[in-house]
Amino acid sequence: MSENANTAKWYVVHTYSGYENKVKTNLEKIIENRGISHLITDVKIPVELTTETTSAGVTKETESKIFPSYVFVKMVMTDETWHIVMTITGATGFVGPGSRPVPLTDKEVEALGVESAAKTATTTAFKVGDSVSIKSGPMTGFIGTISEISPDLKKVTVIASVFGRQTPVELDITSIAAENN
């Protein structure tokens, strides 16, 4: 092997469903109690912050795991560290062929966003063609149909009937609500 045996690399640990946080917490406690932060240097569960706008116009943020059932561990692979990770309650094993785990390459670490902060995604309950009522601004009370939703999901174009004419109106997504027919 040409790699330095004392260099910490990222490994992927598979866990039982829903045990990711428990595995991370228990591993961090063991690292602290045994004083092995030089061998196991980081433990991460990549998450994505999702901002969702409901049909009632309410915006809420939720956090979801990008890779459910997986924990990323940056560690120097030794018999001791391998054994510590393998005996954590909820961990089922390392990802990789055979009995020896394979570390992630630098390109894989970058592509998976393991070392970056939480990613952000936005979703909305609205879709093109939905009938909505405008609940704020000068067009309050008008009813229209969504004709376009911006890529960042912050603005919508609504076709509303104004003085008998179909008029496109650009609105903030929080200023509309689903029309109850």
Hey, what CATH topology would domain 9-123 get?
A: Alpha-Beta Plaits (3.30.70)
CA distance 39 to 22: 20
Q: What is the mean pLDDT of each run of 10 residues along the chain (181 residues)?
A: 68 95 96 94 87 72 87 94 94 85 89 69 77 87 89 82 87 83 60
Q: What is the CATH number of domain 126-178?
A: 2.30.30.30
CA distance 78 to 114: 22
Indicate the DSSP class of residue 58. -
For the chain, which residues make up each domain, given as ranges? 9-123, 126-178
- pTM, 2 dp: 0.62
